[in-house]
Structure 1
């Protein structure tokens, strides 16, 4: 997979057809230019998604904001000032590209003040050198190194809220020893938010039942969602799936993430003080490695789903596997199965979907006039005997 570089490009003519060859030339080298016509529009986009962009490319003349009528060099000065203000959050390499001769052919006070070179967009050699320098400067940035080292995952993460990218970049910085400070509650909450988005995506293509993502009108029930995708009965929603979507290791990872990151299964808000096991763990092991391990498990879950969802994207087929079931007043599930055997002593047998054999008392066989091949509805007691039997 070739490296990609996301460039914030501010140029009042960024969508001019004359610049299409430049855009295509950049894309051939993995440089993706996202253009904005004004300083305000461009930097609003940058601050809203700061870890998406790797480099900033500035025209020498562009609009201050979307209502400006004439491009002017004040926009360049404002942009450079803002880039410097953003350094505590992220230090961006930035370059100036222009076709204006009073920037490319003569000394310009703004460029001179910041010791900047202005590349000439009309000079093919200048453009070639610019693209080379963009990649070289970008490759020195730790955030981009992280994205390139884990490119498959960050490509998948593009489908999730932008905050997910920020979360994982922070976690990878910790893994690299750049920032070992961590806050369980903050990052555990972020992992659960990403997991919630994952379950919503599963619901969008019918892999996950609607009931699992409509708790109280909007919340996702994380535990019930995990059970459903694991091919198990939900505990409270009375739905299941006849197909097991989660491979066992993926199911185990999801269960571990849900349990460890919070005691409440139906919310993304985390209160670590309510998780007794985590509190006991922290008293003896106060490291970030628990957080890192959960994050790495979640990476595998998202990568698995990206491929699985593409192969299993037919909503009608997926929803055809949804099943609902009833429970009695004590919370015991009603099963439906066919009688496969009646012994000489008039005891019957049914076999559940999981292969478990259930006995039918001979008195129930007689009372309900049951015969071989009949379908019955029943609950099961602890001794694996059918109760509350009705003939279907």
Structure 2
């Protein structure tokens, strides 16, 4: 059987009588036909999994909502109207294939519904036109342009490629995506990063301790892969100066984390975090479309680099031995001046993501707000090195846990 390249919804109440056509599509042309007997069931599937389908084949006279009805043109009209309404989200080519003798020479039908194909007689032409139409759609063109990256994305998670394709389609065809909202995709890039870490964990390039209770600690995974001390977990990769990822991959990963969400334990943005991100982008980013386009390209580099590394490092025992325990300092801050680990949490000017604690620490602004700590004096209990290039020069440490003092 030829590799499936096209996925097509096929609405025809007599599809079971056309097994030869279905087999020819799949075996010879790589077209998977998913049959439905009613307009309603076919359109419901299209709505559920819009990005999974490339085209629709419609019988002229079909059942509308139930097989108890008489097949007629009402179902065809509704299906075409529904497909047209979806064009704002995705352009889906459709084709009418009929075996009805009363329609074959009917000019009124042709004028009303456009070109149609006669079953058996026009099957090859239908197949050729279907493949041609799908290959010329914006999404298929983008998929072809980035085929190497899309193939790698498909390996790590079923939905990973769809977010990237959305972004690339908006980048290459901006006039067709004027309603594109970049802010909705930062979190999806984090989800792709999470999927990469889960694949790496299967062969323990990333150890199990980084995914407690099946929740990926994104921050600590990034530190571990970068050869830093994963201080929250008390581990590091190998000896000093040993690392899994090169510096440019490290920088990309931490950039995605800092823009997508400052919470290191989850990929999900709550309502406050999404609002904060939107405000940050509005205030600090010249054009959020360019930023998300560049990040999507960088995510592809991370995925392709990591997939290659994982494929060449399949020895679980060797990977497991690279995980080294480190001492976790449970005492107060190492500085001899105790007051440096104490301070009042104050909003940070021109930065909605962070608040400050004195002159050495910044802290997640949403965390401080949720716990009603703004304006309160706190003691820093746990910290990590600040990796945010926008704030690390002013604040070398990021407070991950604090205790209110007054």
The CA distance in 2 between the partners of 1:108 and 1:202, in whole Å, is: 60
Residues 1:258 and 2:260 aligned together: no
Residues 1:56 and 2:56 aligned together: yes
Q: How many positions carry a matched residue from both structures?
A: 320
Question: Cα–Cα, structure 1 residues 327 and 41, in superposed 2: closer, same or farther, change >3 Å?
Answer: same
Residue-by-residue CA offset, 1:214-248 (whole Å, 9 max, x unaligned): 2xx45322111112223332120113333743233
Indicate conservation of the 8 Å contact 1:37/1:62, yes or no: no
Question: Cα–Cα, structure 1 residues 16 and 134, in superposed 2: closer, same or farther, change >3 Å?
Answer: closer
The CA distance in 2 between the partners of 1:241 and 1:199, in whole Å, is: 15
The CA distance in 2 between the partners of 1:309 and 1:331, in whole Å, is: 39
Flag structure 2 segments of 5+ consecutive residues without an equivalent.
Answer: 334-406
Residue-by-residue CA offset, 1:179-203 (whole Å, 9 max, x unaligned): 4666453221222122222222222
Indicate conservation of the 8 Å contact 1:146/1:169, yes or no: no
Residues 1:21 and 2:36 aligned together: no
Greater share of residues in helix: 2
| 1:301 positional shift | 1.0
| 1:171 positional shift | 4.5
Indicate conservation of the 8 Å contact 1:8/1:57, yes or no: yes
| 1:131 positional shift | 2.3
Q: Counterpart in 1 of 2:134?
A: 138
The CA distance in 2 between the partners of 1:183 and 1:311, in whole Å, is: 38
Indicate conservation of the 8 Å contact 2:256/2:295, yes or no: yes
Q: Counterpart in 1 of 2:174?
A: 177
| 1:70 positional shift | 8.1
Indicate conservation of the 8 Å contact 2:231/2:328, yes or no: no
Residue-by-residue CA offset, 1:300-358 (whole Å, 9 max, x unaligned): 111223333333345455334334344353389xxxxxxxxxxxxxxxxxxxxxxxxxx
Aligned-partner SS, 1:158: helix
Residue-by-residue CA offset, 1:261-284 (whole Å, 9 max, x unaligned): 3322222245377679x9499447
Residues 1:221 and 2:224 aligned together: no
Residue of 140, 145, 148 corresponding to 1:152: 148
Aligned-partner SS, 2:143: helix
Question: Cα–Cα, structure 1 residues 252 and 45, in superposed 2: closer, same or farther, change >3 Å?
Answer: same
The CA distance in 1 between the partners of 2:321 and 2:114, in whole Å, is: 65
Q: Counterpart in 2 of 1:205?
A: 203
Question: Cα–Cα, structure 1 residues 204 and 331, in superposed 2: closer, same or farther, change >3 Å?
Answer: farther
The CA distance in 1 between the partners of 2:208 and 2:274, in whole Å, is: 29
Residues 286-365 of structure 1: pairs in structure 2 closer than 5 A: 286-330=287-331
Residue-by-residue CA offset, 1:33-82 (whole Å, 9 max, x unaligned): 241333444333322332332222234466656x8478834544442232
The CA distance in 1 between the partners of 2:110 and 2:146, in whole Å, is: 36
Deviates more, 1:129-138 or 1:173-182: 173-182
Q: Counterpart in 2 of 1:196?
A: 194
Indicate conservation of the 8 Å contact 1:15/1:35, yes or no: no
The CA distance in 2 between the partners of 1:16 and 1:312, in whole Å, is: 48
Aligned-partner SS, 1:87: helix
Residues 1:91 and 2:94 aligned together: no
| 1:108 positional shift | 8.9
Deviates more, 1:13-22 or 1:231-240: 13-22
Which of 1 and 2 has greater Rg?
1
Indicate conservation of the 8 Å contact 1:77/1:110, yes or no: no
The CA distance in 2 between the partners of 1:51 and 1:157, in whole Å, is: 15
The CA distance in 2 between the partners of 1:162 and 1:331, in whole Å, is: 44
Question: Cα–Cα, structure 1 residues 23 and 108, in superposed 2: closer, same or farther, change >3 Å?
Answer: farther
| 1:117 positional shift | 0.8
Flag structure 1 segments of 5+ consecutive residues without an equivalent.
Answer: 333-392
Aligned-partner SS, 1:9: strand
| 1:95 positional shift | 0.9
Compute the RMSD of aligned alpha carbons.
3.7
